[in-house]
Amino acid sequence: MSEQFHTVGVNLGADAGIDGGKNGGEGRGKDRSYAITIGRGLLVDSHLWSEIIGSRGVVLVTDDQVGPLYAERLQSALPTLDRFTHITLPAGEQQKSMASVQQILDAALADRHERQSLFLALGGGVVGDMTGFAASLFLRGAEFVQIPTTLLAQVDSSVGGKTGVNHPMGKNLIGAFHQPKRVIIDLDTLSTLGDREYAAGLAEVIKYGLIRDAAFFQWLVAQVSALQARDIPTLASAIERSCAIKAAVVMEDEQERGVRAHLNFGHTFGHAIERLQGYGEWLHGEAVAAGMVMAARLSVRRGNLESAVVDQLLSFQQQVGLPVKPPAGLTAADFLDAMASDKKVTAGKIRYILLNQLGEACVAEDVTLDDIAAVIDA
């Protein structure tokens, strides 16, 4: 029997889709709202999967780290299927490419899946992003379900419909907004998550407190020992609140024309670190953690944030094993060059997400080279 602790709704309404509803395209006037279900034993809950899948074909995508742990368990809970395809990709950020998406599409087409088939993304953020992107392209739009197995994916990338791949010129530069049909977060999968990957997820969790909920930030700081111990009730609450904040932002601004940009706090610097280091050298959450400290210090430098908040952030990140500064040797000029091709650049200006105060994010475009140098060397 599974235990369902929390359900978070993402209410988006109907959309005609990118082809205006012609040719059976994605959306077709259907309600695109979906539920995020958080619990234990969900991966092997056959009733849940029968409800989600029905009689449709399934394209299951995973990687060679997660697959051996969980793919067979999930398959055992799936209903009897007329058409089933299982694709295992190499793990790692380096695999987040058009070639991997092509591999997913080739397998689905070879097995004669139809638009009604359901893509299942079993893994971390890389698998989820690529599977969602492949689903958005398949026969002009198939549905997919996110089954995130890392903390970072559970609280961030699985929610909100951003899908895509990296490009040599930058991270996530090729992709589409394509909302999942459902998000299934099985807390049991965190038991096999490595310490680095787990800490990387906590970076995204505390981000939500910094940008949107000061009380949540203070609660996380107080619960750091329980979070380090992977206490299930504490984790369930932290994941639920993170997903609720992400859902609220997505419902307000689905395609990042305004407030959704606030979710990129730490990411402008973080993506630059990933690109400069080489994708996969630092985990995404590790780069974001260093980027958040830089953005928080910059907010203090501009007179908007109390330095005590930076001290609390440093303490939290150090206790859970996250970096608090960028890699040695990177200069302000390196950062500017890497950030110039970031997808968040607008009208040629780099948009930095900073803090007006704890729990309130803002956008700044007047950051100078001296500002960046100051927060690198702090």
**pLDDT tens per residue across span 198-227:** 999 999 999 999 999 999 999 999 999 999
Q: What's the pLDDT score for residue 97? A: 95
CA angle 181, 186, 191 (to 5 degrees): 145
Query: What's the whole-number mean pLDDT along residues 241-253?
Result: 95
Residue 25's pLDDT band (boundaries 50, 70, 90)? very low
Residues noted as catalytic:
140, 162, 204, 246, 256, 260, 264, 267, 271, 284
Question: Where in the chain is CATH 1.20.1090.10?
Answer: 195-377
Q: Structurally, what CATH architecture does the domain formed by 3-192 represent?
A: 3-Layer(aba) Sandwich (3.40)
pLDDT digits (tens, 9 = 90+) for 77-94: 999 998 999 999 999 989
Q: What Å distances lie between residue 243 and 147, 238, 326, 332, CA to CA? A: 14, 9, 27, 34
Question: Where in the chain is CATH 3.40.50.1970?
Answer: 3-192
**pTM (2 d.p.):** 0.90
On whether the CB atoms of residues 84 and 107 are closer than 8 A, the answer is no
In the chain, % of residues over pLDDT 70: 94
What is the C-alpha to C-alpha distance for residues 67 and 87, in angstroms, rounded to an integer?
A: 9
Mean pLDDT of the chain: 92
Token output for 3? 């235990």
On whether the CB atoms of residues 237 and 245 are closer than 8 A, the answer is no
CATH code given to domain 195-377:
1.20.1090.10
Q: What's the pLDDT score for residue 27? A: 43
Check whether 18 has a pLDDT greater than 60.
no
Q: What's the pLDDT score for residue 1? A: 65
Check whether 129 has a pLDDT greater than 80.
yes
Token output for 95? 């695999």
Q: What's the pLDDT score for residue 278? A: 80
pLDDT digits (tens, 9 = 90+) for 259-283: 999 999 999 999 999 989 887 789 9
| DSSP-derived pairing of the beta strands 84-89 and 58-63 | parallel
Query: What's the whole-number mean pLDDT along residues 132-151?
Result: 97
Q: Identify the bridge partners of residue 7 per DSSP, sorted by sequence position.
A: 37
Q: What's the pLDDT score for residue 20? A: 47
CA angle 355, 361, 367 (to 5 degrees): 55
Query: What's the whole-number mean pLDDT along residues 347-371?
Result: 91
The amino acid sitting at 353 is: I
Token output for 159? 């929610």
**Three-state SS at 272:** helix
Report the candidate in 252, 275, 273, 272 with the shortest Cα–Cα distance to residue 263.
252
More confident residue, 14 or 323: 323
Q: CB neighbours of 21 closer than 8 A, spacing ≥ 6?
A: 27, 28, 29
Check whether 229 has a pLDDT greater than 80.
yes
CA atoms within 13 A on the CB side of 258: 7
